[in-house]
Amino acid sequence: MLIDQIKTIINGENVSIALFFIGMYGLCARRNILKTIISMSILQASLVLYFLSLSFHPLNVPPIGADLNAYAYVADPVPQALMITAVVVGISVTAVSLTMFVSMFHKYGTTNWNKVKKKRGEIE
Q: Give the footprint of other proteins on this chain (CB under 8 A).
A: 20, 23-24, 27-31, 33, 36-37, 40, 43-44, 47, 50-51, 54-55, 76, 78-79, 82, 85-86, 89, 92-93, 96-97, 100-101, 103-104, 107-108, 113-114, 116-117, 120-121, 123-124
In the bound state with other proteins, the residue whose beta carbon lies nearer, of 64 and 99, is: 99
Least separation in angstroms between CB 6 and other proteins:
22
Cα–Cα distance measured from residue 46 to residue 39, given in angstroms and rounded to the nearest whole number: 11
Cβ contact 108:116 at 8 Å = yes
Cβ contact 38:77 at 8 Å = no
Least separation in angstroms between CB 70 and other proteins:
21
Least separation in angstroms between CB 66 and other proteins:
19
Identity of residue 35: K
In the bound state with other proteins, the residue whose beta carbon lies nearer, of 61 and 82, is: 82
Least separation in angstroms between CB 65 and other proteins:
20
Using alpha carbons only, what angle is made at residue 28 by residues 24 and 32, rounded to the nearest 5 degrees?
105
At residue 61, the 3 state secondary structure works out as: strand
In the bound state with other proteins, the residue whose beta carbon lies nearer, of 8 and 103, is: 103
Alpha-helix runs per DSSP H in the chain: 2-9, 12-29, 33-53, 77-108, 113-120
